[in-house]
Chains A and B, each alone.
Chain A
Amino acid sequence: MLGAGIIKGMAETARNFLGSYVSAERLTTVQYPEERSPQIENARQFPFLVFDGDDPMKGLRCVACQICEKECPPKCIYIVKSKDKRVDYKGQAQFYPATFDIDLSVCMSCQICVEVCPFESIKMDTAYELSTADRFGGLLVNKHQLAKSNEHYRKFHPTDAAASDGALAVEVAKAQAKAKADVEAKAKAAADAKAKTAAAQSTPAPATA
């Protein structure tokens, strides 16, 4: 009969209306400035630089290799290498970035800079409430604003942080093994040289006697 479907539909919406006052799971609205819906673990917004330890500038993992600057599709990263070197986590002397600027208004959150970084030093952050009233320079962040600690990284992306810590630990272990092998080789070479000089010294003696 014409109109039966309409009546069924109106009963359904009446149930929606009355049910929204009674049961809490009907209204799924998140009241935004007071509450925020939680982000999933793999959420990514804009990059940040990881530092180990307490001092951001001393512990910055970035060595200014400029790979991310070259790989960035919209070219939003600007790096100026420093003139001097400092020691990194592996014990080697590396450059560090004197200037590391990212223009967040250009960044498209593609994560390519994270994927190509060999030093696990640039990762994606989850902060999104970055609005500013300054249209021209407000979203240009420098390395002081970008540096966030490893603890922060562990808090927001625990699996990724664990993976990068693992990769770094592997690197450290490799470097240490290499260093040990170097020391052993050096010791062996020194021992060989000493043996060779000792042999060189001892062999002419029977010739002259």
Chain B
Amino acid sequence: MPDLDQIFVNLKHWLLGQLEGILSASWLELVSILLSLVPILIVFPTLFAIMTIMERKGLGRIQNRYGPNRVGPFGFLQPAADGIKALIKEDLVPRAADKVVHLLAPVILVVTAFTVYAVLPIGRNMVVLDLDAGLLFFFAVGAASDLAVFMAGWAIRNKYALLGAMRAVAQMVSYEIPLILSSVAVVMITGTLSLPEIVMAQSTHFGFLPDWFVFTPWGFAGFLLFMIAANAEANRSPFDLPEGESEIIAGYFIEYSGFKFALFFLAEYLSLFAICGLGITLFLGGWNAPFAGLEFIPSWAWFFLKLITLMCLFIWTRGTLPRLRQDQLMNLAWKFMIPMVLINLVAAALWHFTGPGFMRWLTSGALLIVAHLFLGNPQFERKDIGKRTYRFAE
């Protein structure tokens, strides 16, 4: 019975061993790098294809209708049809558009989306690049994608696309702060920026419950804040005003067609998977199994199970909530989430400095609940607008 958990690692080592006699050392290194990268390039776009059909069928069922059900059994070959359509569509570039930037924008977006997968620990010993500052690498490359969004909107020389791009960039830049600060709480507690080590720190068990950070008050609040910020970073409903599917059709990438549009779509979903993967790594215990009895399921299977669960959560949120307006989004980020995330840091510090025991749950949890009640209520009440006055034309 081969060790299912380490099957891919062992496969890679076996292949390298086979090639050791044939190739020189530097070629061997290149092959080793390729063997680590190619699975990512295969698995995550496949997951993207699966997610598009899951999303359409899931949203359909939520909205009391079938999803696509013509192509393949129950419509599950729909991504193939979508892919073929995207590839054979004519690639329209507006005459006044800036050709170089128009071409580069989706390319840079996809490149940054793929690059962040290099630091995600997908299974035990299964991380492409074990950087000391892995978390920082993730956020740095993720921040570089904002520039590509702006380039996309600007290259088309269309006022409305440019407005959409500027709003998208404002949204992404504002929500990066809660995203980063909520993960700083985890960094504080574990004392390291390296993602495999953060996963290892969650592999113990506290009695019955696993030691995942989501089962602590600050971890739970941090996880919720992280997920909301992840929603906003990936421009997904309810934060998809820049995209605005039913109103402005595609917002900042409205003039892209064919393969470039497919690249934008791919980049959006890939960055969503990456941020969810990071959320799993930081808060949900990475590739750890929840209970000791379930260890026989391989670690990479746990990672993907958790990823698919978070995907379903996102699809559910998309089907439920209406879109937030730009000022509502910004208010949420700056007036609610940033104070909340700073108080989360204080709660995490309180958790750490109160010793283990029941007391730390009480203090940490009480602080967070009071902060939530205090921050959540006053601003979201309807402002007192006063008596309605009319101005008539004279």
A and B touch in the complex (CB under 8 A): yes
> From residue 369 to 388 of chain B, which have CB atoms closer than 8 A to chain A?
372-373, 375-377, 380
Residue of B66, B320, B372, B373 touching A6 (CB-CB under 8 A): B320
Taking a contact as CB atoms under 8 Å apart, the answer to whether A16 and B62 are in contact is yes
What residues of B have a CB within 8 angstroms of the CB of A21 in the complex? 61
- Could you tell me the distance between the alpha carbons of A2 and B372 in the complex, rounded to whole angstroms? 8
Q: Is A3 an interface residue (CB 8 A)?
A: yes
What residues of A have a CB within 8 angstroms of the CB of B65 in the complex? 27-29
Pick the 6 closest A-B CB pairs, nearest first: A2-B376, A13-B320, A20-B61, A9-B320, A13-B62, A17-B61
Taking a contact as CB atoms under 8 Å apart, the answer to whether B62 and A1 are in contact is no
**A6-B320, A14-B316, A17-B58 known; A28 and B64 CB under 8 Å?**
yes
Taking a contact as CB atoms under 8 Å apart, the answer to whether A1 and B66 are in contact is no
What residues of A have a CB within 8 angstroms of the CB of B317 in the complex? 10
What residues of B have a CB within 8 angstroms of the CB of A90 in the complex? none
Q: Is B319 an interface residue (CB 8 A)?
A: yes
Q: Is B336 an interface residue (CB 8 A)?
A: yes
Task: For the complex formed, measure the closest distance between the CB of A29 and the CB atoms of chain B, giving whole angstroms.
Answer: 5
Taking a contact as CB atoms under 8 Å apart, the answer to whether B64 and A1 are in contact is no
Interface size on A, residues (CB 8 A): 18
Taking a contact as CB atoms under 8 Å apart, the answer to whether B62 and A17 are in contact is yes
Task: For the complex formed, measure the closest distance between the CB of B116 and the CB atoms of chain A, giving whole angstroms.
Answer: 28
Q: Is B321 an interface residue (CB 8 A)?
A: yes
Task: For the complex formed, measure the closest distance between the CB of A31 and the CB atoms of chain B, giving whole angstroms.
Answer: 8
Q: CB-nearest residue of chain B relative to A19?
A: B64
- Could you tell me the distance between the alpha carbons of A177 and B372 in the complex, rounded to whole angstroms? 91
Q: CB-nearest residue of chain A relative to B369?
A: A1
- Could you tell me the distance between the alpha carbons of A20 and B57 in the complex, rounded to whole angstroms? 12
Task: For the complex formed, measure the closest distance between the CB of B321 and the CB atoms of chain A, giving whole angstroms.
Answer: 7
Interface residues, chain A, CB within 8 Å of chain B? 1-3, 6, 9-10, 12-14, 16-17, 20-21, 26-29, 31
Looking at chain B's contact residues, the main secondary structure is helix
Looking at chain A's contact residues, the main secondary structure is helix
Residue with the greatest number of chain A CB neighbours at <10 A, chosen from B64, B69, B376, B380: B64
- Could you tell me the distance between the alpha carbons of A6 and B376 in the complex, rounded to whole angstroms? 13
What residues of A have a CB within 8 angstroms of the CB of B375 in the complex? 2
Taking a contact as CB atoms under 8 Å apart, the answer to whether B316 and A13 are in contact is yes
Interface string of B45-81 (1 = CB under 8 A from A): 0000000000000100111111001000000000000
Task: For the complex formed, measure the closest distance between the CB of B141 and the CB atoms of chain A, giving whole angstroms.
Answer: 31
Task: For the complex formed, measure the closest distance between the CB of B288 and the CB atoms of chain A, giving whole angstroms.
Answer: 27
Taking a contact as CB atoms under 8 Å apart, the answer to whether A1 and B319 are in contact is no
- Could you tell me the distance between the alpha carbons of A2 and B321 in the complex, rounded to whole angstroms? 14
Residue of B63, B69, B336, B376 touching A1 (CB-CB under 8 A): B376
- Could you tell me the distance between the alpha carbons of A11 and B18 in the complex, rounded to whole angstroms? 55
Task: For the complex formed, measure the closest distance between the CB of B222 and the CB atoms of chain A, giving whole angstroms.
Answer: 15
- Could you tell me the distance between the alpha carbons of A148 and B65 in the complex, rounded to whole angstroms? 38
Taking a contact as CB atoms under 8 Å apart, the answer to whether A27 and B321 are in contact is no
Besides A1-B376, A2-B380, A20-B61, 19 more A-B contacts (Cβ < 8 Å) are A1-B377, A2-B372, A2-B375, A6-B320, A6-B321, A10-B320, A12-B320, A13-B62, A16-B62, A16-B64, A17-B61, A17-B316, A17-B319, A21-B61, A27-B64, A27-B65, A28-B64, A28-B65, A31-B69
